[in-house]
Structure 1
Amino acid sequence: MGDIVICYFSGSRHTARLAETIATAAAESGSASRLVDVAAMTGADWQALDEAAAILFGTPTYMGSAAAGFKSFMDDTSDRWTDQVWADKLAAGFTVATFPGGDKLATLIQLSVFAAQHGMIWVGQDQIGAPVDAANPGINESGAWLGLAATSSRDKTLMVQPGDLETARRFGLRIARAVRRWTT
């Protein structure tokens, strides 16, 4: 089974909390995962990205788009884009913002276009929450299907709303299933 690399930028630890939750779920499912903070990239991190079966992109939504720290990482991938190093890898994205809407869809679109430019195969969200599925209160409350869209919590012990943390856990399981399916 291939590895999952979760690369993210986190201004105030909200995005890091999501990345950690996704990684834990993937590991519980039997997938090896690696967290990469794009603000502190090493040569080994770039190598892990190049060798991964799936790369997840995570960034807070600031002012309706990916945070500048993540955008810098995106720009740094131009040589990989030219050579299509990441072509045919699975890709997915996640973001967090202060408000339930918070223009998070604009960020997910930005991430999916970035992945498409690299020739990657995008994996979206599959969780149906309430009110459609009353058994899933708090799940995918943003109603985003392109990726994981979470809302930050004012409770800094949580960082992210509890339902969104559970949605992140399920998203990690989905990514692990997709990696198994595409790499076996």
Structure 2
Amino acid sequence: MSTPVKIALAYCSGAGHTRRLAEEIAAGVMGAGGAPVLIDVTAMDEGDWAAMAGAAAIVFGAPTYMGSAAADFKAFMDASSDIWVDQLWADKLAGGFTVATFASGDKLSTLMQLSVFAAQHGMVWLGQGEIGAPVDADKPEINQSGAWLGLAATSVRDKTLMVSRGDAETARRFGARMAKAAQRWG
């Protein structure tokens, strides 16, 4: 039996919606035989940086506030500059996820910011690959935002859910995709 591939989920969350997506992605990673490590970038220690260094893939997550990634995530990005200088994350797989209040919510802007960040680190980006309705009528709630660059979700008012059931399922599928790709890549 092989060792499960480690996938780091580095995120920040304001009201808990992004954390919920991270947990759903982690469930998908585990379901595909991977080992997720959830890292809240607002409370990092040396162990968290080491976990990212030892991961086969890092999935970055931030809420979209005012058209871009939340300031707390940007602080994490800036703190990674020493890693960038030595390209210590080069050739790792990367992906990204975000959540906003509105269906569009300018989430693509955040996903672009995350993908450029990964590119600067020399990482290989993996987008979201689920086709939902209206193209596939058997998947009416999957990839409701129609985003391909990464996982995009819309927050819901029901705090027991945080995101819709369809977005939660899309997140699990995204996590499984990331784990399977990391197993092939690594």
The TM-score range, normalised by the shorter chain, is over 0.9
Which residue is 1:13 aligned to? 16
Quick check: 1:86 aligned with 2:63?
no
Letter aligned with residue 171 of structure 1: F
TM-score by length of 2: 0.97
How many angstroms apart in 1 are the aligned matches of 2:31 and 2:129? 19
Deviations 1:25-58 (A, max 9, x none): 1112110110000010010000111111000000
Which residue number in structure 2 is paired with residue 28 of structure 1?
31
Name the amino acid aligned to 1:120: M
Does the CA contact (< 8 Å) of 2:5 and 2:179 recur in 1?
no
> Equivalent residue of 1:156, what SS?
coil
**Gaps spanning 5+ residues in structure 2: where?**
none
- Specify the alignment match of 1:156 in structure 2: 159
Supply the distance in 1 between the matched residues of 2:131 and 2:48 (Cα, whole angstroms).
34
Distance 1:61 1:17 in 2: 15
Q: Which residue of 2 aligns with 1:131?
A: 134
Cα shift at 1:11: 0.3
1:175 is paired with a residue whose SS is helix
Residue type of the alignment partner of 2:63: P
CA distance in structure 2 between the aligned counterparts of 1:32 and 1:166, rounded to whole angstroms = 18
The alignment's C-alpha RMSD in Å is 0.6
Name the counterpart of 1:66.
69
Conserved 8 A contact 2:5-2:33:
no
Other structure's SS at 1:56 match: strand
Does residue 131 of structure 2 align to residue 142 of structure 1?
no
Q: Is it true that 1:172 corresponds to 2:164 in the alignment?
A: no
2:51 pairs, out of 37, 48, 51, with: 48
Per-residue deviation, residues 83-116 of structure 1 (Å, max 9, x unmatched):
0000000000000000000000000000000000
Whichever residue aligns with residue 149 of structure 1, its letter is A
Partners of 2:137 and 2:180 lie apart in 1 by: 25
Say whether 1:109 aligns with 2:99: no
Report the Cα distance in structure 2 between the residues aligned to 1:84 and 1:175, rounded to whole angstroms.
21
Question: 1:37 corresponds to which residue?
Answer: 40
Over 2 Å off, 4+ runs: none
Q: How far apart are residue 130 of structure 1 and its match? A: 0.3
Number of corresponding residues:
183
The Cα shift of 1:2 comes to: 2.8
